[in-house]
Amino acid sequence: MRPIHPKYYYRNFIHPKYWPTWISIGILRVLAWLPDSVLQAIGRALGWLSYLVGAERRHIAETNIRLCFPELSEKERKKLARESIIATMKGYVESPKGWWGNMKPYIDRLEVHGQEHLDEARRRGKGILMLGGHFSILDFAGPLANAVFEFNHMYRPQDNALFDAMIERNRRKFSGAAFDKRQLREMINYIKKGNIVWYGCDQDFGRRYSVFAPFFGIDAATLTTPAWIARETGASVIFLSQFREGNGVYSIHFSEIFENYPEEDEVANATRLNQEIEKAVMRHPEQYLWVHRRFKTRPKGEPSLYPPKKKKLKKQKQKAKARNTQDGA
C-alpha cells in the first residue's frame, strides 16, 4: 500500500467543525461489519425513502429514463427510476464494507467476464486506459476489481476535506495511485510505464472538453479526454463495468479492446465510448446512476431538459420579486 500523503493525516481534522463528519464515519464503520442481508435491507429502505422524499432527484431519474427508453410505459419508467435509486442507496451502504470489511467471500464468488480482453491488452504492453461508468456498487467494486488486476484511478476530490481523506486512505488499500484532473501529465507518464488507470468518463462536465454525441439517441456532452489520453499514451482502451447479481454475488465485465481508437474525428470517438456505456447499462439498467443530469449541457439553441435546481429557482424567484417591487414603486 502506498504511503499516506501528509494532507490525509487524521490529526489534521480534530477541529470541532469536523466532529459531525467523524460521527458519520463511525456509523459507516459499523455498516462495514453488518451481514449482507441486513445491508441490502437498509439500502432498500433508504432507497425507498429517497425516492419518496427526494422529488428533485426522482424527477431527474424519470426524465433521463423517459429520454433513453421512450418505448417504456409511464408505469415502467417510474418503476425503473425507483429501482435505480434503491440500487444507488444499496451501493452507498455497501461501500464501507469495501473500505473496512471482509471482502474475501465476495471475491471468491466474483464472476469475471471478458478476462481474455484484459489479458490481450496486457500482452500488448503499452499500458491500459480502463474506462468506466457510474454504476451502483461504487467503492465496493474496488477490491473486487483489484482481485483481478492492479489498477490506479482518476478521482474528483470531495468538498468535505475529512471525508475526502477518509475515502482516499481507504482507496489506497486497493488502488496504486490516484490522479485528479490537475495531474493529467503525471497520469500520462504513469500509463506509458505499462500501468493501468481507471477513468470514470460517463458524466456531463460541460462544453470545454466535450463534444456532443448520441447516448441512447439523445445528444450528450461527452468527454474528449479519453481519446486524448489514448492518443498521448498509445495505451489499449477497455471499458469496465460492475454489477450486483444478487445473493451476495457480484460481476465485472471487460469490453473488447477499442480497436482503431482514437480516430481523428472526436465525435466518432465520443460515439464509440457512449456505445460501450450503453451496452453496459443494458445488462442492468436499474444499476446505472440515472440521478445524474446526464443531458445538462445542451447544444446551442436547445432548451434545458431539467427544471432549475432549487437554489437556482429560489434566486430566480427573489430576482423576479425584486423587479416587481421596483416596478410597483
pLDDT digits (tens, 9 = 90+) for 127-137: 999 999 999 99
CB within 8 Å of 322: residues ≥ 6 apart: none
Other CB atoms closer than 10 Å to residue 270's CB: what's the count? 25
**Lowest-pLDDT choice from 39-53, 83-97, 286-300, 305-319:** 305-319
pLDDT-derived band at 175 (thresholds 50, 70, 90) equals confident
Show the DSSP H helices in the chain as ranges. Answer: 19-31, 36-53, 55-68, 74-100, 104-108, 115-124, 141-146, 161-171, 184-192, 225-233, 266-283, 310-328
pLDDT in tens, 40-80: 999 999 999 999 999 999 999 999 999 999 999 999 999 99
Q: Which of 163, 206, 185 is nearest to 295 (CA)?
A: 206
Structural domain boundaries in the chain: 6-287
**Lowest-pLDDT choice from 37-51, 135-149, 224-238, 255-269:** 135-149
Residue located via cell numbers 495531474: 183
Amino acid at 158: Q
* Residue 312 pLDDT exceeds 60: no
Amino acid at 183: Q
φ, ψ at 132 (rounded to 5°) = -145, 170
* Residue 224 pLDDT exceeds 90: yes
* Residue 181 pLDDT exceeds 80: no
What local confidence, expressed as pLDDT, does residue 298 receive? Answer: 96
- Residue with more model confidence, 213 or 179: 213
Mean per-residue pLDDT for 175-202? 87
pTM: 0.88
pLDDT-derived band at 324 (thresholds 50, 70, 90) equals low
* Residue 165 pLDDT exceeds 70: yes
Name the maximum alpha-carbon separation found in the chain.
76
Mean pLDDT (the chain, rounded): 91
What local confidence, expressed as pLDDT, does residue 6 receive? Answer: 62
Amino acid at 275: Q
pLDDT-derived band at 112 (thresholds 50, 70, 90) equals very high
**Taking the mean position of all CA atoms in its chain, how far away is CA 230?**
20
Cell of 1: 500500500
Residue located via cell numbers 434545458: 304
* Residue 20 pLDDT exceeds 70: yes
Please report which helix (H) or strand (E) contains residue 242, including its range.
strand 236-246
What local confidence, expressed as pLDDT, does residue 5 receive? Answer: 64
What local confidence, expressed as pLDDT, does residue 308 receive? Answer: 83
241 in Cβ contact with 253 (< 8 Å): yes
pLDDT in tens, 117-156: 999 999 999 999 999 999 999 889 999 999 999 888 888 8
Mean per-residue pLDDT for 218-247? 97
Q: How many CA atoms lie within 13 A of 61 on its CB side?
A: 28
